[in-house]
Amino acid sequence: MGLVLAAIAASQDAGHSVAMWCHDPASADAITQTRRSPRLEHFVLPESVRVTAEAKQALHPDGKAADIVLSAAPTQFTRGVWERLSPVMADWTRRPRIVSVSKGFESATHQTPTAIIASALEGEGIDRPVVGVLSGPTIAGELGKQLPATMIAASGDAGLAAVTQELFTTSWMRVYTGTDPLGVEVAGACKNVIAIAAGILDGLRAGYNAKSALLARGLAEITRLGVAMGANADTFFGVAGAGDLATTCFSPEGRNRNCGESLGKGMTLADHLERTQSVVEGVATARCVAALSAQYGVDMPICATVNAVLHEGLEPIEGIQLLMTRPPKAEEIG
Amino acid sequence: MGLVLAAIAASQDAGHSVAMWCHDPASADAITQTRRSPRLEHFVLPESVRVTAEAKQALHPDGKAADIVLSAAPTQFTRGVWERLSPVMADWTRRPRIVSVSKGFESATHQTPTAIIASALEGEGIDRPVVGVLSGPTIAGELGKQLPATMIAASGDAGLAAVTQELFTTSWMRVYTGTDPLGVEVAGACKNVIAIAAGILDGLRAGYNAKSALLARGLAEITRLGVAMGANADTFFGVAGAGDLATTCFSPEGRNRNCGESLGKGMTLADHLERTQSVVEGVATARCVAALSAQYGVDMPICATVNAVLHEGLEPIEGIQLLMTRPPKAEEIG
């Protein structure tokens, strides 16, 4: 995701200086030489993007403090990355502007990526950053091929949202602005739990009716959580909510959906993780959502069922039966 | 759809008398004898459902006025069906209770099915009916196999919604109640236009990012229309809105999505309709939505583009380019 967005920003007519930080020198060297990624068919990183493992170079792409920093580390690594990067920002004379594209809650704290970043910088005594998020249904492989896509750039700072929109808008990428970064982050984290449920339905061959109901009712319950946490319900019905959830539930490639499909076919979680050697974000997120749902007093039957299947030994088929046979009620949304 | 719902109602422990009306005696005889439908694998209609082409028998299943009538005719035939059926209701001593499961707008009037029914009965001098709707992501073939599904029973009359919920709730069918039948009907009609757009993206191999963005932004614009017409925005985010839209956009079987896929691959609409000999509801609905969007002053760029591709010779790829390159803006929902 970081690679593709770096390429877009570097390709704009405005001629921005773009630097990209990698956590280890070997990766930085490899990308510098090949300009390619094994995961992104057809993708070539423009020569103008400087790739480095040096924090100081990355955060000062044309010799002075970066105007905008895009944070693309996996959520569980975000704090460590910013604790490592931020010392070189100690002499910045204005508040850093940081846009996160990470999705998830930190397992230990249940914080969203922008909260993690703010907290990591605070620990280093850096000025409180101006934060924003950029999110949407964005399978990286499709972006690499420049297939059409949409994102939302959301920030409490309208200027940052507008600049982010401008930086990443192309003929094939439509970027909306929004004012609710928290909603975007809650939607982006929770969708992985619903995607595991979608995969379970696929593994059980439950059909499109069931999966589409899951999408609608899953969206309703993550909206309820978001609203309880202070987000705006509308955000959940936009490209970062319903849109990203649809991609995550229906694309056959997603790691979370795939994990659910293995569970639906009778494989254990341990066997699936062992076999695929992949990080399935929703597995940790399910625990966070269960904790947040209790903390905010929000009923989230689908996420609770996924958590019970993942971590409490509930059989997937029993989980579906429990969900289907709850007492009949009125449909409630956000 | 009518067959499956008749079977559910007849199978309830409460032991309801269920009669089913067919528009021609030959079909009624065939179903009476075989209890099966060529379109519904594994489905068997219970012996207790009496199938008839006689309006009087159908509307008086146990000798007296039916407690509830389910209307399942295709939208464009709904008026004719009710003009034909309703004379036998002339002596009913209380208002008929009619639940519609049809989806679409009548081409000539842009009315929804429940409005058509009320208007057809009014023409016959029958008491104004108590109307409701029953809708959701319900591919009939999956229902025939009793795969899990959800629907919403919505009516301005809470009693009718509750009875409908009770009638169709089973271990594999979860029915919610709702109070906004208009929203359910607008969502059910408009989703077929968005599904044609989804098919166009499939035909162009545009990917999951694009299709999921379409789902979110399509949902936003049909919500705007619904709200302008007097519906409740929440309805569009429920099983009859986001849920049904997801099934219609992602299931490979849908006629509307299939039609769009042919267009995306370069086939003309006339050739597709000639080749498949199927009724593609969204083709007529696109014109209705264009008219309603103008009448209510609602901006619906995706539906307008689909209408231009279907009826004004716009090339699909140009349509996508037009949508992607509109001026950048904030994301607006309902």
Task: Please tell me if residue A32 touches chain B, with a CB cutoff of 8 Å.
Answer: no
Task: Calculate how close chain A gets to B228, using CA atoms only, in Å.
Answer: 17
User: Is the confidence at residue B333, as pLDDT, over 80?
Assistant: no
- pLDDT of B266 reads 96
Q: Does B247 touch chain A (CB under 8 A)?
A: yes
pLDDT of B108 > 90? The answer is yes
What sections of chain A are H helices per DSSP? 2-11, 25-34, 55-59, 75-85, 113-123, 140-144, 158-168, 181-203, 208-229, 244-250, 255-264, 269-276, 281-296, 301-311, 316-324
Known catalytic residue: B191? yes
**Chain A hits for B152, Cβ within 8 Å:** 331
Q: What percent of chain B has pLDDT over 70?
A: 100
Cβ pair A215:B242 closer than 8 A: yes
Q: Considering only residues 36 to 95 of chain A, which have any Cβ-Cβ distance to chain B shorter than 8 Å?
A: none
Q: What is the pLDDT of residues B131-140, one digit of tens each?
A: 999 999 999 8
Which uninterrupted H or E stretch holds A176?
Answer: strand A173-178
pLDDT in tens, chain A (334 residues): 899 999 999 999 888 999 999 999 999 999 999 999 888 888 999 999 999 999 999 999 988 999 999 999 999 999 999 999 999 999 899 899 999 999 999 999 999 999 999 999 998 888 899 999 999 999 988 998 999 999 999 999 999 999 999 999 999 999 999 999 999 999 999 999 999 999 999 999 999 999 999 999 999 999 999 999 999 999 999 999 999 999 999 999 899 999 999 999 999 999 999 999 888 999 999 999 999 999 999 999 999 999 999 999 999 999 999 999 899 999 987 6
Residues in chain A with CB shorter than 8 Å from the CB of B216 are: 137, 150, 237-239, 241-243, 246
pLDDT of residue A15: 83
pLDDT of residue A334: 65
Catalytic member of B56, B103, B145, B191: B191
Mean pLDDT of chain B: 95
pLDDT of residue B334: 65
**Residue A97: helix, strand or coil by DSSP?**
strand
Give the model's pLDDT for residue B127. Answer: 85
- A vs B: CB pairs below 8 A: 218
Per-residue pLDDT tens over the stretch A195-248: 999 999 999 999 999 999 999 999 999 999 999 999 999 999 999 999 999 999
Cβ-based contacts of B245 with chain A (< 8 Å): 212
B140 touches chain A (CB under 8 A): no
Q: Is A247 on the interface with B (CB under 8 A)?
A: yes
Helix, strand, or coil (residue B90)? coil
Percent of chain B with pLDDT strictly greater than 90 = 89
CB–CB contact A136 B213 (8 Å) = yes
Chain B environment of A195 (Cβ under 8 Å)? none
- Helices (H) and strands (E) in chain B — how many of each? 15, 7
Confirm or reject contact between B322 and chain A (CB < 8 A): no
Judge whether A243 and A136 are in contact, CB under 8 Å: yes
A216 part of contact set with chain B, CB < 8 Å: yes
State both tokens at A260: 């659910």
- Spell out which residues of chain A touch residue B236, defining contact as CB-CB under 8 Å: 237
Give the chain A residue whose CA is nearest to the CA of B234. A333
- Please give the helix or strand (H or E) that residue B133 lies within, else none: strand B130-135
Chain centroid to CA A90: 28
Residues B20-63 pLDDT 10s: 999 999 999 999 999 998 888 889 999 999 999 999 999 999 88
CA angle at B106 for the pair B81 and B254, rounded to the nearest 5°? 95
**pLDDT tens by residue, B207-234:** 999 999 999 999 999 999 999 999 999 9
Rg value, chain A, Cα: 20
A237 and B223 within 8 Å at the Cβ level: the answer is: yes
- Min CA distance, A276 vs chain B (Å)? 23
- At B58 the pLDDT is 95
ipTM value, please give it. Answer: 0.93
d(CA B8, CA B43): 11
Q: What are phi and psi of B69, to 5 degrees?
A: -115, 130
Asked if A217 and B243 come within 8 Å (Cβ–Cβ), the reply is: yes
Q: Which residues of B touch A226 (CB under 8 A)?
A: none
Whether residue B251 and residue A174 make contact (CB cut-off 8 A), yes or no, is: no
Q: What is the pLDDT of residue A41?
A: 84
* Residue B308 one-letter amino acid: A
CB of A165 within 8 Å of a chain B CB? The answer is yes
Q: Mean pLDDT across the stretch B283-306?
A: 97
Share of chain A above pLDDT 90, in %: 89
